[in-house]
Amino acid sequence: MTEALDHHGDQEVGDGLVDLAVNVRTGTPPAWLRDEIAASLGGLAAYPRQDEAVTAVAAKHGRPTGEVLLTAGAAEAFVLLARALRPRRAVVVHPQFTEPEAALLTAGHRVERVLLRPEDGFRLDPARVPDDADLVVVGNPTNPTSVLHPGLDRLVRPGRVLVVDEAFMDAVPGEPHSLAGRAGVRGLVVVRSLTKTWGLAGLRIGYLLAMSDLVEQLGAAQPPWPVSAPALAAVVACCSDRAAKESAEAAVETGRQRAYLLRKLSALAGVTTYGEPRAPFVLIRTPDGNQVRKALRTKGFAVRRGDTFPGLGPDWLRIAVRPEPVMDTFADALMEVLD
């Protein structure tokens, strides 16, 4: 396979394989969160009301409620942006999650790419984004490179919409370089998701943060009642102090596990990493990556192929960070395959 914007890690799991292809936190959703969602089921006869969930998100990020738009996952936010905006020059910074570009193409827009380079550690030099780009999409931290970009607010320009996909930001301890709390910045759109940290891919819940006129414009493109009552209950629960504590601890733990994985990988000849990974996954380069990936499957491990991401090729693989014992057996399997 080569580049394919509609390919996702969940297409690579199954068959009893250990899942290192999907970046959802293991052991999620936690029981307390499942209980909160289940408790909402008694109210399913009523149409969902968003007030409490919007207030909770606004308070979490220190923003006015008018700057919050709840969506059916981050993916809906990308579709709304693509349908509601009329960019003359849309630029997507790659390699990154492919749905923003797919949504733009589906809505009939032309898309230019800024391709980040491994030799630069996949870091973004803002000067590489054309000055007259009036829509720019960048992930932070970026999937699949795992790179966290500082200072993305330097990309804000009059007349430009800057979309920062922060779907994995809550997995970075302390969320340095998050722009989610930046109220009142014209054109800045921050997209967040409950999918990854909370294991809620199947519920479809996320949100975007932007100035209220843009929130209104994007909200007008949504169908009535776009977010279900159980999803709203999940938002309220995930904005609680308890959730903040749990996700902060999980982020630190993930950082420890990632450091462990990186140490294991650095001991393997023929495996290279680039830049400083900060997300719950690591991107590696290894000659004949696709053969390595297939051989790993025979040893019981599913890793995410890299060749479907713009700017990468068959030598790239993405590995989800998991607890140390899993990383141990994985590193052993990888060593055997490379031998």
Ligand X SMILES: Cc1ncc(COP(=O)(O)O)c(C=O)c1O
Write out the residues near ligand X by the rule CB under 6 A.
73-75, 97, 139, 143, 165, 167-168, 193, 195, 201, 206
Minimum distance, C-beta of residue 215 to ligand X, in the bound complex (Å) = 18
Q: Please report, as a single letter, which amino acid is at residue 267.
A: A
Contact 253, 280 (CB under 8 A): no
Burial of 237 by CB count in 10 Å (0-12 exposed, 13-18 middle, 19+ buried)? buried
Residue least distant from ligand X (Cβ): 73
Distance CA 191, CA 193 (A): 7
Specify the residue, 149 or 264, whose C-beta has the smaller distance to ligand X. Answer: 149
Minimum distance, C-beta of residue 202 to ligand X, in the bound complex (Å) = 9
Q: Is the dihedral of CA 73, 79, 80, 81 positive or negative?
A: positive
Minimum distance, C-beta of residue 143 to ligand X, in the bound complex (Å) = 4
Minimum distance, C-beta of residue 8 to ligand X, in the bound complex (Å) = 6
In this structure, what are the phi and psi dihedrals at residue 205, rounded to the nearest 5 degrees? -150, 130
How far from 106 is each of 111, 219, 239, CA to CA, in Å?
A: 11, 19, 33
Minimum distance, C-beta of residue 336 to ligand X, in the bound complex (Å) = 29
Minimum distance, C-beta of residue 239 to ligand X, in the bound complex (Å) = 16
Specify the residue, 167 or 327, whose C-beta has the smaller distance to ligand X. Answer: 167
Specify the residue, 34 or 157, whose C-beta has the smaller distance to ligand X. Answer: 34
Specify the residue, 48 or 331, whose C-beta has the smaller distance to ligand X. Answer: 48
Specify the residue, 4 or 338, whose C-beta has the smaller distance to ligand X. Answer: 4
Specify the residue, 36 or 170, whose C-beta has the smaller distance to ligand X. Answer: 170
Minimum distance, C-beta of residue 165 to ligand X, in the bound complex (Å) = 5
Nearest to 70 by CA among 55, 89, 92: 55
Specify the residue, 283 or 337, whose C-beta has the smaller distance to ligand X. Answer: 283
Minimum distance, C-beta of residue 78 to ligand X, in the bound complex (Å) = 8
How far from 53 is each of 65, 70, 221, 258, CA to CA, in Å?
A: 10, 8, 20, 32
26: Cα separation from own chain's centroid:
16
Specify the residue, 48 or 73, whose C-beta has the smaller distance to ligand X. Answer: 73
Please tell me whether residue 73 adopts helix, strand or coil conformation. helix
Burial of 298 by CB count in 10 Å (0-12 exposed, 13-18 middle, 19+ buried)? exposed
Distance CA 23, CA 318 (A): 10
DSSP character string of 96-133: S-SHHHHHHHHTT--EEEEE--GGGTT---GGGS-TT-
